[in-house]
């Protein structure tokens, strides 16, 4: 869902073609024209930057969609999705640690006893 962006009122051409009325004590026309020339340059730079960022955004979204599709079809993901998740089959970390502890006692306990004798 894309956000609605504010609409652009003036194009660089609109700014360039804008003509101001000069009063008795009006602004210096050369100074105003120089300033507007700089505004036009900045405006064009921002427009190019926005275009570039939109293209990058589109490219990154496509890459993300491709990666999520690839990860959804990986063998590990498929095996996890195929494994039934029932309350009795779910192991907690604590359950796994208890089983490892018993296994270590079984394997290493006999080795320790054999080394002491």
Residues 15 and 52 in one domain: yes
Residues 93 and 67 in one domain: no
Residues 67 and 12 in one domain: yes
Please check whether residue 44 lies inside any domain of the structure.
yes
pLDDT tens for residues 61-86? 999 888 887 766 666 555 555 555 54
Domain containing residue 97: 85-116
Residues 106 and 63 in one domain: no
pLDDT at 91: 67
pLDDT tens for residues 99-114? 888 877 777 776 665 6
**Number of structural domains, the chain?**
2
Residues 53 and 96 in one domain: no
Residues 65 and 104 in one domain: no
Burial of 39 (0-12, 13-18, 19+ CB in 10 A): middle
Residues 58 and 20 in one domain: yes
Residues 15 and 61 in one domain: yes
């Amino acid at each position: 869902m894309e956000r609605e962006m504010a609409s652009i009122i003036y194009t660089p051409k609109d700014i360039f073609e804008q003509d101001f009325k000069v009063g008795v004590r009006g602004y210096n026309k050369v100074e105003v024209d120089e300033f507007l020339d700089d505004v036009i340059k900045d405006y064009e730079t921002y427009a190019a930057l926005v275009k570039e960022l939109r293209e990058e955004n589109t490219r990154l979204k496509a890459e993300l969609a491709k990666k999520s599709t690839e990860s959804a079809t990986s063998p590990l993901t498929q095996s996890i999705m195929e494994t039934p998740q029932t309350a009795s089959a779910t192991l907690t970390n604590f359950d796994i640690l208890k089983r490892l502890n018993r296994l270590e006692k079984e394997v290493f306990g006999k080795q320790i006893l054999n080394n002491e004798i």
